[in-house]
Amino acid sequence: MRTAGRERSTARWDQVAGHWVRSLQTGGRPGAPPVVLVPGLGALGYLIDTLEGCGAWSHSFLLDVPGFGHRRPRAVCPPRIPALAETVSAWLAAVAREPVVLAGHSTGAQVACRVAADHPETVCSLVLMGPTFAPGARRVTGLLRALPGTLAHESPGEIRVTAPYYLRAGRELHRYLRAALQDVPERVMDRVTCPTLILRGEHDALSPEPWVSELAARAPRGRWATVPGAHNFPYQRGGLTAALIAEAARRR
* Model confidence pLDDT, tens digit, residues 108-137: 999 999 999 999 999 999 999 999 999 999
pLDDT of residue 18: 86
DSSP lists the bridge partners of residue 24 as: 11, 62
Within-domain flag for 4: no
Nearest residue to 125 (alpha-carbon basis) of 48, 221, 241: 221
Dist. CA 78–CA 84, nearest whole Å:
7
Q: How confident is the model at residue 91 (pLDDT cuts 50, 70, 90)?
A: very high
pLDDT of 31 over the 90 cut: no
pLDDT of residue 4: 44
Task: Please report, for residues 24, 193, 240, 242, the alpha-carbon distance to residue 52 in angstroms, rounded to integers and kept in the order given.
Answer: 10, 28, 12, 8
Q: How confident is the model at residue 23 (pLDDT cuts 50, 70, 90)?
A: very high
Within-domain flag for 34: yes
Give the chain's end-to-end CA distance (angstroms, integer): 28
Domain that holds residue 35: 10-125+133-250
Q: How confident is the model at residue 97 (pLDDT cuts 50, 70, 90)?
A: confident
Within-domain flag for 115: yes
pLDDT of 7 over the 80 cut: no
Within-domain flag for 199: yes
Within-domain flag for 231: yes
Within-domain flag for 2: no
Q: How confident is the model at residue 252 (pLDDT cuts 50, 70, 90)?
A: confident
Dist. CA 25–CA 40, nearest whole Å:
18
pLDDT of 48 over the 50 cut: yes
pLDDT of residue 145: 92
Task: Please report, for residues 12, 20, 59, 156, 177, the alpha-carbon distance to residue 77 in angstroms, rounded to integers and kept in the order given.
Answer: 18, 11, 25, 30, 15
Nearest residue to 116 (alpha-carbon basis) of 232, 210, 220, 239: 220
Q: Looking at the 3D structure of the chain, how many domains does it have?
A: 1
Q: What angle do CA 236, 242, 246 make, to 5 degrees?
A: 160
Task: Please report, for residues 125, 129, 206, the alpha-carbon distance to residue 106 in angstroms, rounded to integers and kept in the order given.
Answer: 17, 6, 9
DSSP state string for 177-234: HHHHHH--HHHHHTT--S-EEEEEETT-SSS-HHHHHHHHHHSTTEEEEEESSSTTHH
Mean pLDDT throughout 141-145? 92
Task: Please report, for residues 35, 79, 119, 130, the alpha-carbon distance to residue 100 in angstroms, rounded to integers and kept in the order given.
Answer: 6, 23, 12, 20
CATH number of the structural domain spanning residue 174: 3.40.50.1820
Mean pLDDT throughout 13-42? 92
